[in-house]
Amino acid sequence: GLTRQTFLLATQEMAAAADAVAALGSPAPAATEPEPEPEAVAPEPEPEPVAPEPQVIIEPAPAVAATVEMPAAPAAAGFSPTHEVPAGGMSAWAAPDPNLPPIARLEARVQLRVDEVRGAWARVTGSNGWSGWVDDRRLAPLGGAPVAAPAPAVAATAPPVVPVPATAPLPAVAPQPAVWQATHQVPAEGLPAWATPDPAAAPIAQLAGRVQLRIEETRGAWARVTGSNGWSGWVDARRLGPLGRGGGGLALGPLALRPLPLVGGIALIVASFLPWLKGIFGASSTGGWNTPFQVLWNTTSPGDQPRMGLIVLIVGIIALAAGVIPKAGRALAAITGVLAAVIGALYIVQVIRLFSNQLGASAGDVLNNAIGIAPWIALGGALLLLIGALIPDRRG
């Protein structure tokens, strides 16, 4: 029978059986307990993250090397512009002197390098080696204000460097002879200049009128010219005017062509064959080859030789030479002009005195009725010679 005692015993047996069953399932978690051994190995690789420490040291090293090498590269690259010409362009001078005429007119946006600063003046250099002085206040810096600051610093520190003076004269002496001498001149209206003989390129400068240049090389209609300050550029050779042509002269190969002295010389030659005295009072007209030259100072007993026509002819031939020789032409034109004026004037005075003393004629009657055409033509030729001698050299 089921009693309380048997019920408790049965319950205890069932609990023991349940504990036995639970004991059979517990060995599985006990087998996983050896896994803590990898947990002890896992922390060992964690000290290896110490490797990032070299990365901190390596990163600044390339950064410093890059900042040191970058400035060195532009310094050795050659021409590096620092400024540009403002809109509207600006004038350039050979020296920092406002009393001198400008040597060039720089086009707008042309890039330049400032090499030296003197007050409001700046000496700039172009990409083709041209150098000149401009108004520093009008230059526009490239790349903002930081570029303008290093320019004076470089100019201030460059002179003490010894290699610069040693190498600078070499390129300057090669294109320039010992004595620079101009051969041509810019026309009055000015002339554009290019860095290369290429009309498709933009001009680098506008040369001022009457600036003297020297031709170094010609290529067709182009001419490479240099200025007194060493500037060099290409211009239209057809528009350049040669130097050394005086008296309003024009170029004619190695000679000059001075119209006024030439016409004056021709007038004297013609006058030597024309009548110097009209036929009056029954006398025939007298030509230069029948008139003694001594009549200029002795009308009472003039000699027979030389003749007036011969002297005037010689003076006229010399005057022709004054119209074509390239040098001393103006001086020679002045000398022959004075001689022709003296001959014509003295002859007229002597004839007036002769007819006034012997015939009592007035000076007006003598001028109108006695003086031939030759003295007047001689005076006209003398005037042309003197005017040609007074005209300054026309350079171009």
Q: Looking at residue 253, what is its pLDDT?
A: 47
Confidence grade of residue 21 (pLDDT, cut at 50, 70, 90): low
pLDDT for position 17: 72
Picking from 387, 384, 391, the residue whose alpha carbon sits closest to that of residue 245 is 391
Residue 161 clears pLDDT 50, i.e. is over it: no
CB 349 within 8 A of CB 260: no
pLDDT confidence band for 24 (50 / 70 / 90): low
* pLDDT for the residue numbered 340: 93
Q: What is the DSSP letter of 118?
A: E
Q: Rounded to whole angstroms, how far apart are CA atoms 183 and 180? A: 10
DSSP label of 139: P
> pLDDT of 94-135, one tens digit each?
999 888 888 888 988 899 999 999 988 999 998 888 899 999
Q: Give the model's pLDDT for residue 336.
A: 93
Distance in angstroms between the alpha carbons of the first and the last residue of the chain: 155
Band of residue 64 on the pLDDT scale cut at 50, 70, 90: very low
**Phi, psi (degrees; rounded to nearest 5) at 366:** -65, -45
Q: Which H helix or E strand runs over 335?
A: helix 329-359
Q: Is the confidence at residue 68, as pLDDT, over 70?
A: no
CB under 8 Å to 267, separation ≥6 — which residues?
316, 377, 378, 380, 381, 384
Structure-model confidence comparison of residues 338 and 2, the more confident one: 338
Q: For residue 217, what are the β-bridge partners?
A: 224
pLDDT for 122 = 93
In three-state secondary structure terms, 88 is coil
Q: Would you say residue 160 has pLDDT above 50?
A: no
Distances (CA, A) of 124 to 83, 106, 194, 212: 9, 11, 17, 21
Q: Which pLDDT score is estimated for 250?
A: 52
The reported pLDDT for the residue numbered 39 is: 43
| Whole-angstrom distance, CA of residue 236 vs CA of residue 253 | 19
292 has pLDDT over 60: yes
Which pLDDT score, from 0 to 100, does residue 316 have? 92
| C-alpha count within 13 angstroms, C-beta hemisphere, residue 22 | 6
Q: pTM, whole model, 2 decimals?
A: 0.41
Q: How far is residue 123's CA from residue 169's CA, in Å, rounded to a whole number? A: 18
Place of tokens 């030729």: 381
Report the DSSP beta bridge partners of residue 275.
Answer: 287
> What phi and psi, each to the nearest 5 degrees, are found at residue 119?
65, -120
pLDDT at 49: 44
Residue range 315-357, pLDDT digits in tens: 999 999 888 887 677 888 899 999 999 999 999 998 888 888 8
Q: Above pLDDT 90, what percent of the chain?
A: 24
149 — pLDDT class (breaks 50, 70, 90): very low
Contact 139, 82 (CB under 8 A): no
